């Protein structure tokens, strides 16, 4: 009954996250497939398909939200990778993390910086660009 949303979400997820996105949904298949479906439908088919913000802004705000939340390193690193995919530079990602420091403090911010470092290293990158 919600096929359109699923299709649209799946397209959006692939467009943004590529194979790593498929792997997240795949990883939920044997434990909570419906949770994976909701991520696709609600997360990507509904919210990420809205026109009101651009991809860059969606990734910068996702990084800020996950930095502030804490304890969400896998999700943060996943969305840092999406940010790189949609053309956010490493500098802008780091800048977003630094911007969170006055709001949420150094503990959350240092963890986020380490997440960025791990993602950039795996991407064969230098850390600033």
Closest approach of its own copies to the CB of residue 18, in Å: 18
Question: Minimal CA–CA distance to 63: which of 55, 23, 50?
Answer: 55
Question: Minimal CA–CA distance to 94: which of 49, 69, 55, 125?
Answer: 125
Site map (CB under 8 A) of its own copies, residues 15-44, x = contact:
---------x--xx-xxx-xx--xx-xxx-
Contact flag: residue 123 with its own copies (CB under 8 A): no
The answer to whether 99 touches 87, Cβ cutoff 8 Å, is: no
Contact flag: residue 95 with its own copies (CB under 8 A): yes
Per the document, the length of the chain is 129
Among 11, 15, 70, 86, the residue binding its own copies under the rule CB under 8 A is: 70
Among 49, 57, 122, 129, the residue binding its own copies under the rule CB under 8 A is: 57
Contact flag: residue 84 with its own copies (CB under 8 A): no
Contact flag: residue 99 with its own copies (CB under 8 A): yes
Closest approach of its own copies to the CB of residue 122, in Å: 13
Residues of the shown chain interacting with its own copies in the complex, contacts defined by CB under 8 A: 1-2, 4-5, 24, 27-28, 30-32, 34-35, 38-39, 41-43, 46-47, 50, 52-53, 57-58, 60-72, 74-75, 91-92, 94-111, 113-114, 116-117, 120, 126-128
């Amino acid at each position: 009954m919600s096929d359109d949303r699923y299709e649209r979400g799946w397209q959006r997820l692939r467009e943004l996250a590529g194979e790593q996105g498929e792997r997240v949904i795949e990883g939920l298949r044997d434990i909570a497939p419906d949770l994976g479906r909701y991520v696709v439908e609600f997360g990507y088919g509904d919210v990420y398909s809205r026109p009101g913000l651009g991809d860059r802004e969606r990734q910068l705000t996702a990084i800020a939200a996950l930095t502030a939340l804490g304890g969400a390193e896998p999700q943060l690193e996943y969305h840092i990778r999406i940010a790189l995919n949609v053309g956010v530079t490493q500098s802008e990602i780091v800048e977003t993390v630094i911007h969170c420091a006055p709001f949420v403090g150094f503990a959350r911010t240092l963890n986020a910086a380490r997440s960025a470092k791990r993602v950039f290293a795996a991407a064969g990158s230098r850390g600033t660009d």
